[in-house]
Amino acid sequence: MEPYNETPAGKYFTLTYGCQMNESDSERINGQLEEIGYQPASVMEDADIVILNTCSIRQNAEEKVYGKIGELKKLKQEKPHLLVGITGCMAQENKGRLIARMPVIDFVLGPYHIHDLKDVVSGEKKGRAPVVMTEMNPERVSDFSELKAARKSHVFAWVPIMQGCNKFCTYCIVPYVRGRQASRTVQDICGEVRRLAEEGYKEITLLGQNVNSYGLDFRNGTDFADLINSLSEIPGIERIRYMTSHPRDMTFRMVDAMAASPKVVRHMHLPVQHGSNEMLRKMNRGYTIERFFELLEYVREKMPDIAVTTDIITGFPGETENMHQETLSLLKKARFDSAYTFIYSPRTGTPAARMTDQVPEDIKKRRLQELMNTENSISLELNRAMEGHTFRVIAEGPTKNDPEHWFGRTSGNKMIIFPKDKKLEVGMTVSVHVDKAQTWILKGTLTE
Ligand code: 5AD
Ligand code: SF4
């Protein structure tokens, strides 16, 4: 699409915090800016507009953003025309309070207002009083595909399939800042993926807070299995990734649909959060450990080579030493390929933040360390079992530190680093022999 403004508007710099949904939103934010003539800046100092696309999931995510706003205050003193915008979850959570506290900010747009960005920075609102737009418009999920995305890659693409979440886990701020679940239609999603395939994209990642409840808001029987079946038919797409799964809403029918599709990857991110049934109940997760294992066994039976990863929260209110031991046992029994472990962070407005039996910080830290130690040795063991075997990866590009070493991911989402070959190009599907395993990455060599 041609920019509708012939004169260059200047340069933009977008910083993204938090999850893949934000990565994806940032691509649409950048797409909007490019449509009105902005060009990407390589460093923040060169930009005429800086956008912080923020995350509220834990306190430390918010603190990083406040630190950055401090830097922007200095930058704006040198460059008074600089526009500063806050988008994403902190925008939604704090609304106009952000500008009141930090006048360096020119506009605050919640996740439902990427559509308004062009008007805010180029229309009659530009340079006027600070703009705050945080009304939730779930019906806007249906015009998502109209928002041009400036995608980072020409091979791998994020595809949001829904917004929001209805689960209200008691620790989680997402339902408050991202609103109620709203799914895009199968037709809309397939249309976008078909266009991506025509442009040469090979791998898509379907994004939703809880992909297993996809489509339930239509109340017409559509579910994630239907979406997978339809997407699997689209020629050109080699791999379909998806995240995040929820043990409460995943059905055997969905697992069957994944297993039947040669394109759906053999990786599942399935957050269990805790190993104690009492904790799961207080977290409002809606399943027991027994049910979780029933599901996990079914998943592994249908897809024996699948890599399963998880999220764990430690130090949730009321967590006793015994309950912590239950999580350690869960890790040993489930043998996840990796586990993202988080210290519980109270979020204002959530039920858990009001619970009285909060766990002291030093205990949380010690428990986190024990969880990480246990999981790291399991991850390493599972990766070592890959040594001596050959895997198909799609080449993603050079590693950060060494242009002669490239990396790619297996279907199970394991990263393999290997010496580059003359003919190698981004997006090529190649076979790599794993020579050496580490906890987080594998090292290998091309076999063709
Ligand atoms: N404190 C710590 N971790 C949290 N998560 C979500 N909310 C919180 C919180 N308040 C974790 C969960 C979720 C992941 C994305 O972040 O484990 O799966
Ligand atoms: Fe948060 Fe639970 Fe929804 Fe995940 S399922 S976004 S943890 S409320």
The DSSP output letter for 268 is E
Identify whether the C-beta of residue 29 lies closer than 8 Å to the C-beta of residue 117: yes
HSE-up of 159 (CA within 13 Å, CB side)? 32
* Domain assignment present for 412: yes
Determine the Cα–Cα distance for residues 111 and 105; give it in Å rounded to an integer. 17
Residue 156 Cα to ligand 1 midpoint, Å, equals 26
For ligand 2, say whether the CB of 40 is within 6 Å of any of its atoms. no
| Tokens representing residue 353 in the block | 């933040």
Question: In the chain, how many domains are there?
Answer: 3
Give the closest ligand to the alpha carbon of residue 248.
2
Supply the DSSP string of 62-131, one letter for each residue: HHHHHHHHHHHHHHHHH-TT-EEEEEEHHHHHHTTHHHHH-TT--EEE-GGGGGGHHHHHHSTTTTSS-E
- Which atom of ligand 1 is closest in space to residue 343's alpha carbon? 2
**Measuring from atom 2 of ligand 2, which residue has the nearest CA?**
169
Residue with tokens 């906890």: 439
| Cβ within 8 Å of residue 422, ≥6 positions away | none
Instruction: Verify that 100 and 210 share a domain, yes or no.
Output: no
Integer distance in angstroms from the first to the last C-alpha of the chain?
A: 39
Give the closest ligand to the alpha carbon of residue 371.
1
- Which atom of ligand 1 is closest in space to residue 171's alpha carbon? 10
Q: For the segment 87-146, what is each residue's pLDDT rounded down to a tens digit?
A: 999 999 999 899 999 999 999 999 999 999 999 998 666 666 789 999 988 777 766 777
Q: For the segment 393-433, what is each residue's pLDDT rounded down to a tens digit?
A: 999 999 999 999 999 999 999 999 999 999 999 999 999 99
Q: For the segment 241-280, what is each residue's pLDDT rounded down to a tens digit?
A: 999 999 999 999 999 999 999 999 999 999 999 999 999 9
Determine the Cα–Cα distance for residues 367 and 344; give it in Å rounded to an integer. 11
**Measuring from atom 5 of ligand 2, which residue has the nearest CA?**
167
Q: CA torsion, points 218, 221, 225, 230, in degrees to nearest 10?
A: -70
Residue 174 Cα to ligand 2 midpoint, Å, equals 6
Instruction: Verify that 81 and 118 share a domain, yes or no.
Output: yes
179: left (phi over 0), alpha (psi -120 to 50) or beta: left
Report CA-CA distances (Å) from 77 to 45, 64, 319: 12, 21, 48
Asked if residue 378 has pLDDT above 80, the reply is: yes
Three-class secondary structure of residue 228 per DSSP? helix
Q: What mean pLDDT comes out for the span 353-365?
A: 97
Supply the DSSP string of 315-326, one letter for each residue: S-TT--HHHHHH
Q: Report helix, strand and coil shares of the chain as percent, to nearest 5.
A: 40, 20, 40
Determine the Cα–Cα distance for residues 261 and 239; give it in Å rounded to an integer. 10
| Tokens representing residue 55 in the block | 């995350």
Instruction: Verify that 120 and 168 share a domain, yes or no.
Output: no
Give the closest ligand to the alpha carbon of residue 168.
2
Q: What mean pLDDT comes out for the span 181-201?
A: 96
Would you say the C-alpha torsion 149, 151, 155, 159 has a positive or negative sign? negative
For ligand 2, say whether the CB of 313 is within 6 Å of any of its atoms. no
Residue 43 Cα to ligand 1 midpoint, Å, equals 31
Residue 17 Cα to ligand 2 midpoint, Å, equals 18
**Measuring from atom 6 of ligand 1, which residue has the nearest CA?**
172
Instruction: Verify that 335 and 296 share a domain, yes or no.
Output: yes
For the chain, the maximum distance between any two Cα atoms, rounded to a whole number of angstroms, is: 65
Instruction: Verify that 262 and 226 share a domain, yes or no.
Output: yes
Instruction: Verify that 352 and 314 share a domain, yes or no.
Output: yes
Reported as type and span, the H/E element at residue 22 is: helix 20-35
Identify whether the C-beta of residue 189 lies closer than 8 Å to the C-beta of residue 227: yes
Residue 57 Cα to ligand 1 midpoint, Å, equals 6
Instruction: Verify that 110 and 202 share a domain, yes or no.
Output: no
> Which CATH number fits the domain that encloses residue 431?
2.40.50
* Domain assignment present for 2: no
Q: For the segment 215-237, what is each residue's pLDDT rounded down to a tens digit?
A: 999 999 999 999 999 999 999 99
**Measuring from atom 4 of ligand 2, which residue has the nearest CA?**
209
Domain of residue 410 covers: 390-446
Instruction: Verify that 404 and 375 share a domain, yes or no.
Output: no
Would you say the C-alpha torsion 170, 173, 179, 183 has a positive or negative sign? negative
Q: What mean pLDDT comes out for the span 338-343?
A: 98
Percent of residues, the chain, with pLDDT higher than 70: 96
Last residue of a domain, one of 69, 100, 135: 135
- Which atom of ligand 2 is closest in space to residue 284's alpha carbon? 2
Identify whether the C-beta of residue 191 lies closer than 8 Å to the C-beta of residue 146: no
Residue 98 Cα to ligand 2 midpoint, Å, equals 25
Question: Average model confidence (pLDDT) for the chain?
Answer: 94
Query: Which residue ranges have their beta carbon within 6 Å of ligand 1?
Result: 57-58, 171-172, 271, 273, 311, 313, 342, 344-345, 347
Least-confidence region, from 11-25, 129-143, 211-225, 345-359:
129-143
**Measuring from atom 1 of ligand 2, which residue has the nearest CA?**
172
- Which atom of ligand 2 is closest in space to residue 173's alpha carbon? 1
pTM for the structure as a whole = 0.95
> Which CATH number fits the domain that encloses residue 108?
3.40.50.2300
Give the closest ligand to the alpha carbon of residue 317.
1
Give the closest ligand to the alpha carbon of residue 208.
2
For ligand 2, say whether the CB of 30 is within 6 Å of any of its atoms. no
Q: CA torsion, points 69, 70, 74, 76, in degrees to nearest 10?
A: 20
Instruction: Verify that 397 and 429 share a domain, yes or no.
Output: yes
Instruction: Verify that 231 and 364 share a domain, yes or no.
Output: yes
